[in-house]
Copies of this chain bind each other. A is one copy, B any other.
Amino acid sequence: MSTWYCDGNSIDALPIDDRAIHYGDGLFETIAIRAGSPRLWHLHIDRLRYGCERLAIAMPPEENLHTGLQQAINESGIDSGYALAKIIITAGSGRRGYRRPDSGQGRVLTAVYSAQRLAPAGYRKGVATVRCATALAEQPALAGIKTLNRLEQVVARNEWHDPDVHEGLMCDTAGRLICGTMSNVFVVHDQSIITPILDRCGVAGVMRRHVIDTLHADGINANEDDIHWDDAMLVDEVFLTNSQYGVLPVRQCGEQRWAVGPVTRELMKRVAKSGIEECAL
């Protein structure tokens, strides 16, 4: 178990009246730590700020978040050369009932975990996926942000136990491909790079954002669009993004197979050059 920190102290438990426990009232980020520093920090902060705004939770000062993270890195005893941090912002303690306290104060929890590099074969040959039977509900009020309400992902992730299956792909209840249980998804078709719109459900990942931004800086468009599951099965290439591993080609979903194609390879080179070293294979 990792050491968690809150307000400068190491903690092993959360006050029982915290609204994260009772309602999942809060947000979180999982952040890649490379060479002792958080990667894509500004994108994580942007998403937290947006999430706090959406949930009407006071955004803690960025400096406090950074100080807490630095403490966890320094004191956890985990090799921070290649690690992972988790920051949770809860709506804080409250009385019973859905209504937030009038003068509630949020709580910031931070921990660093050791992390393992993915096997290089995944980047070179692609990973296997399955389609999850669990669909994502359309909830515009919570779409895009990374809240502590994650039962859909829990149920979906527990659908498969084959260790050779890296990820489960999820559709919304209307049958549109949305994301993986812990990643975003892109498809390539006729040279176009497309990733699902995430304004009805799904989490807008920071690596997804970084990939779109990196391509854009190079004059390449990655378009957000609706992608029906059946159409997704007919594309040329598929890849996943995640803050930890960067970009990972998908070689199959169930019986459907894809090559690790030239667009994905070229894109991985660009992303590696932008600082996501894992993609340089």
Contact = CB atoms under 8 A, between A and B. Distances in A.
Interface residues of A, number: 59
A89 to B, nearest CB: 12
A141 B154 contact: no
Given A96-B113, A135-B141, 13 more contacts: A2-B96, A12-B15, A13-B14, A20-B20, A23-B150, A23-B151, A25-B151, A55-B151, A56-B158, A98-B153, A98-B157, A140-B173, A141-B152
B137 A139 contact: yes
Interface in A12-48: 12-25, 28, 30
11 contacts: A16-B111, A23-B149, A25-B154, A55-B155, A91-B154, A96-B113, A97-B157, A100-B154, A135-B141, A148-B151, A149-B150
A173 B98 contact: no
Interface in A73-123: 84, 86, 88, 91, 93, 96-100, 109, 111, 113
Interface of A: 1-2, 4, 11-25, 28, 30, 55-56, 84, 86, 88, 91, 93, 96-100, 109, 111, 113, 134-135, 137-142, 147-158, 173, 181-182, 201
B141 A138 contact: no
Nearest to A100: B158
A12 B14 CA distance: 8
A141 B155 contact: yes
Given A86-B96, A149-B151, A173 B11 contact: no
Contacts of A28: 22
